Structure 1
Amino acid sequence: MSHTIIMTGATRGFGRVAVEHILAGSPQARLVLLARGSAGDELASDLSRRGRSVTSIPADLLSLDSVRAAADEVGRRIDEGELPPLRGLVSNAGLLFTNDVTENPDGFEATFAVNVLANHVLIRRLQDRFESPSRIVITVSDAHFGDFRHNKGMMPGPSWKDPALLARISAFPKAETVTAGGIAYSTSKLAAIYLIHEYARRLPRGVDILGYNPGFVPGTGLNRDAGAAVQFVMRTIMPLMALTPLASTQQEAGRHFADVVLGLTPASSGSYVDRTREIRSSAESYDLDREQRLWTAVEDLTRPFTS
């Protein structure tokens, strides 16, 4: 039966690999790409020429106004019959900034805006249009563990604070530094897991939501807004780690990602999937009080874009 799957972060990295596997595994799906600039249109045109059912809607996830407009356009097309029923949302886009002082147009810290608030706006604007069974998959990260076993010293661990502070710049010491940017990133991924737990309690029956951790995947473009030195390391040195058990190739991560989206990897709503299997996320990521406080804060922060 024909259905719609929405996807962010589909134009590069393992997200681009996942697109091919999703379309091959679910040929009846109509894939809607949300992307900034011309990248979405170019990918949709390429896939359509190959007989795939793909369309693109412009969306800049740094702008919550843009996210709201994209979600509303999807809703309009579904309501008017241009798109089949909505059965999936794949939120793969994410950013890592090399500081904690970058604001989005709405005045929020940019990492938190993209990795947390944009997803919330998408889900809240579209939640009434999901038909059962549906699956929402949000890309998370083992950076949220904050230990050497998972991060190999490459990323500082999260530092939880009042969500109202996390949503603004300079939440962490020495906010202009790369370390502060890394803390903002790992903390945003912890926040995403908290919200996944809360969504699982609140979404309608038959609408499942889970987090997918691809592991360390060199060359994804996550650091595309970083400086030249960081870009050089990520482009030339880090890919060598894909030859070790410490990392996944883009092909591996994309294939595993698609399996989660298509339901081929068994996972319950609210769960954390590490590459190919459901496991428990960090001990810190199970905290009902934080989950509920974060939900309330995010609801308040995004109200102008969700109501």
Structure 2
Amino acid sequence: MPSTIVMTGASRGIGRVAAEHILREAPQAHLVVAARGATGARLATELGGNGHRVSHVAVDLGAPDSVRSAALEIRGRLDRGELPPLHGFVGNAGVQYTNALTAGPDGFESTFAVNVLANHLFVRLLEDRFHTPARIVVTVSDTHFGDFAHNLGMVPGPAWGSPEVLARPGAFPKPRSTAAGRTAYSTSKLAAIYLVHEYARRLRAGIDAIGFNPGFVPGTDLARDAGLATRFAMRRILPVLTRTRFATSRAAAGRCLADVVLGGTVAPTGSYVDRDQVARSSEESYDPRREAELWDALERIIEPYAG
């Protein structure tokens, strides 16, 4: 059945692999890649060979106004029949900075803006255009466990606080430090899991929400803002860990993401999928009070953009 899947973070890393698998395994799907203008246009051309249906919408995920414009453009194309019915959204884009002070044009801390706020704004603006069955997949991370077993101690665990504070620069101690930037990342991924739980409660029946954890995937551009030594280790040294249980290759993680998006991995709404199977996320990630608090805060934050 022809269907539209909207995807962020498809230009590189596991997202690029997943996009290629989605198009190969679901030839009737129309993939809309949401990316910066020139990147999105190039990506649509590269993915759109062999009869695959791919188009793009320009977006700066760190700017809520831009996310709103992209979502409204997709709504318009759906309403005009330029796209088949919407059955999927993949929030795969993610950023990590070497500080907790980087901000976008609206003043939101960039890690939170891209990893949390952009996904929520997309989902809320597209929610009434989904045809069921539909699946929303948000790429999360096992850094939210905050322990050595899940990330070899490379990323500090989350430090939860008021969502209004987390959304702004300087939410963590020593905000200019790399540790603060990495804490912002793990905290944003905990927030994403909270949102998945809230979507499972609040979205209408037939729209499933899944959190997908690819595991530690060295060799991607997630650490592109890190120092030279870290970037070298991520690209040249740490990939050897993919031969162990501590890491996942880009190819394997991308295939797993595609399987979750297309329903090949069976997972009820609200699930946390660890690579290729449903698993339990951290104990901290099951907190209905925090989940409701985050939902309410995000609804207040997006109100100027969601009208």
SS at match of 2:256: helix
Give the alignment's TM-score, normalised by structure 2.
0.98
Alpha-carbon distance between aligned partners in 2 of 1:65 and 1:218, rounded to the nearest angstrom:
32
Question: Which amino acid in structure 1 is aligned with residue 72 of structure 2?
Answer: D
SS at match of 1:38: helix
What's the offset of the Cα at 1:29?
Answer: 0.5
- Counterpart position of 2:291: 291
Alpha-carbon distance between aligned partners in 2 of 1:281 and 1:76, rounded to the nearest angstrom:
37
SS at match of 2:52: coil
What's the offset of the Cα at 1:41?
Answer: 1.1
SS at match of 1:77: helix
Alpha-carbon distance between aligned partners in 2 of 1:224 and 1:77, rounded to the nearest angstrom:
34
- Counterpart position of 1:5: 5
Question: Which amino acid in structure 2 is aligned with residue 280 of structure 1?
Answer: R
Alpha-carbon distance between aligned partners in 1 of 2:36 and 2:220, rounded to the nearest angstrom:
16
What's the offset of the Cα at 1:84?
Answer: 0.7
- Counterpart position of 2:205: 205
- Counterpart position of 1:258: 258
Question: Which amino acid in structure 1 is aligned with residue 237 of structure 2?
Answer: I
SS at match of 2:209: strand
- Counterpart position of 1:65: 65
Which runs of no fewer than 5 residues in structure 1 stay unpaired?
none
What's the offset of the Cα at 1:237?
Answer: 2.0
- Counterpart position of 2:43: 43
What's the offset of the Cα at 1:238?
Answer: 2.1
- Counterpart position of 1:96: 96
Alpha-carbon distance between aligned partners in 1 of 2:119 and 2:227, rounded to the nearest angstrom:
26
- Counterpart position of 1:138: 138
- Counterpart position of 2:109: 109
Alpha-carbon distance between aligned partners in 2 of 1:149 and 1:306, rounded to the nearest angstrom:
40
- Counterpart position of 1:278: 278
Alpha-carbon distance between aligned partners in 1 of 2:185 and 2:250, rounded to the nearest angstrom:
20
SS at match of 2:89: strand
Q: How does 1:160-179 map to 2 (within 5 A)?
A: 160-179=160-179
Alpha-carbon distance between aligned partners in 2 of 1:30 and 1:108, rounded to the nearest angstrom:
32
Q: How does 1:14-93 map to 2 (within 5 A)?
A: 14-93=14-93
Q: Deviations over 1:167-216 (max 9, x none)?
A: 11111111100000111000000011111101111111100011000000
Question: Which amino acid in structure 2 is aligned with residue 134 of structure 1?
Answer: A
Give the alignment's TM-score, normalised by structure 1.
0.98
What's the offset of the Cα at 1:38?
Answer: 1.5
SS at match of 1:5: strand
Alpha-carbon distance between aligned partners in 1 of 2:201 and 2:298, rounded to the nearest angstrom:
16
- Counterpart position of 2:301: 301
- Counterpart position of 2:221: 221
What's the offset of the Cα at 1:45?
Answer: 1.1
Alpha-carbon distance between aligned partners in 2 of 1:167 and 1:46, rounded to the nearest angstrom:
35
- Counterpart position of 2:247: 247
- Counterpart position of 2:157: 157
Alpha-carbon distance between aligned partners in 2 of 1:99 and 1:240, rounded to the nearest angstrom:
27
Alpha-carbon distance between aligned partners in 2 of 1:93 and 1:23, rounded to the nearest angstrom:
18
Alpha-carbon distance between aligned partners in 2 of 1:241 and 1:213, rounded to the nearest angstrom:
17
Q: Deviations over 1:253-295 (max 9, x none)?
A: 0111111001010101011000010011110001111000111
Alpha-carbon distance between aligned partners in 1 of 2:36 and 2:10, rounded to the nearest angstrom:
11
What's the offset of the Cα at 1:124?
Answer: 0.6
Alpha-carbon distance between aligned partners in 2 of 1:6 and 1:242, rounded to the nearest angstrom:
29
Alpha-carbon distance between aligned partners in 1 of 2:43 and 2:159, rounded to the nearest angstrom:
37
What's the offset of the Cα at 1:66?
Answer: 0.8
Question: Which amino acid in structure 2 is aligned with residue 221 of structure 1?
Answer: D
SS at match of 1:291: helix
Stretch of structure 1 that moved more, 182-191 or 16-25: 16-25
Question: Which amino acid in structure 1 is aligned with residue 155 of structure 2?
Answer: M
What's the offset of the Cα at 1:305?
Answer: 1.3
- Counterpart position of 1:193: 193
Alpha-carbon distance between aligned partners in 1 of 2:68 and 2:258, rounded to the nearest angstrom:
26
Identity in percent? 59
Matched length: 307
What's the offset of the Cα at 1:246?
Answer: 0.8
Alpha-carbon distance between aligned partners in 2 of 1:118 and 1:171, rounded to the nearest angstrom:
19
- Counterpart position of 2:180: 180
- Two-structure CA RMSD over aligned residues (Å): 1.0
